[in-house]
Amino acid sequence: MSGIRHRPDSEPETITTRAGLFGADGSGDTSGYGRLVREVELGGTTQPPFGGYFDDLLDALRTGLARREVNPDAAIEKAQVHVGELTVFITREYLPIVAGVLRDDPDLRFELCRGVSGVHYPDDTGRELHAVYPLQSITHNRVVRLEVCAPDADPHIPSLCRVYPTNDWHERETYDFFGIVFDGHHSLTRIEMPDDWEGHPQRKDYPLGGVPVEYKGATVAPPDRRRSYH
């Protein structure tokens, strides 16, 4: 990426103000950072031209979608350039076909998906759950990030395992920790937490306390019961 000039970053959108290190409610701020106040921001939309290879990438993606009789404007919500990296927001039902175009089109050839990460924005109303996919083209030595949003009330996103089989365990982990349901996954079960665990521990609304732990005959209380910060 060195030497490639891009447009300035998109203007951020502030969705809420968070107090404390984690911002969780109901269990106390056990971090000691209760006086920390900061804004939670989401990037906006960057307008073309983007610079570097980003314009060619988006043009090729739009052409590939049209070739498959998919309306690019319906599949692509927006593009965002931040710190020299391109993120393309995709309408969730179009995710598999967009990923297929990115993988198979000769001008794109994003052969590698490096997994999927979940993000929870409780105040991003109707788009609380985000799934983020970093893709890499080994052929063209390029990178791009896909981002898909779903509401808490309907946390479903299509699985990409048929396009990128190595996403199998990544989707299970994201389901385990964030509660995103990847439709079409052949075995969407918890991968780190016990099968009977309640809730999804990396969501912002998950209590910070935890569960008691027995260690060599002694019981260690959850963090929010050990001490208090004032």
Across 159-174, average pLDDT = 97
Give pLDDT, residue 1.
Answer: 46
- Give the whole-angstrom CA distance, residue 15 versus residue 206: 19
Domain residue ranges in the chain: 29-34+42-223
Give pLDDT, residue 74.
Answer: 98
Cα–Cα distances in angstroms (integers) from residue 117 to residues 39, 65, 113, 146, 188, in the given order: 22, 25, 11, 11, 15
Across 108-129, average pLDDT = 95
Give pLDDT, residue 31.
Answer: 53
pTM above 0.75, yes or no: yes
- Give the whole-angstrom CA distance, residue 105 versus residue 21: 43
Across 119-147, average pLDDT = 96
Q: Is 154 exposed, middle or buried (0-12, 13-18, 19+ CB in 10 A)?
A: exposed
pLDDT at 97 over 90: yes
Across 101-111, average pLDDT = 97
Assigned CATH for 29-34+42-223 = 3.30.460.80
Say which residue, 183 or 35, is predicted with more confidence.
183
Mean pLDDT of the chain: 86
- Give the whole-angstrom CA distance, residue 101 versus residue 144: 13
**Closest listed residue to residue 62, CA positions, set 52, 48, 51:** 48
Cα-Cα-Cα-Cα torsion 81, 125, 23, 215, nearest 10 degrees, comes to: -100
23-60: per-residue pLDDT in tens?
555 555 555 555 677 777 777 888 889 999 999 999 99
- Give the whole-angstrom CA distance, residue 80 versus residue 50: 9
Across 66-79, average pLDDT = 97
Q: What one-character-per-residue DSSP string does 4-47 give?
A: --BPPPPPPEEEEEEESSS--SSS--TTS-TT-EEEEEE---PP
Cα–Cα–Cα angle for 143, 184, 65, nearest 5°?
Answer: 45
Q: What one-character-per-residue DSSP string does 202-221 give?
A: TSTTS-S----EEETTEEEP
Beta carbons within 8 Å of 217's beta carbon, 6+ residues apart: none
Give pLDDT, residue 35.
Answer: 64
Give pLDDT, residue 230.
Answer: 46
pLDDT at 2 over 90: no
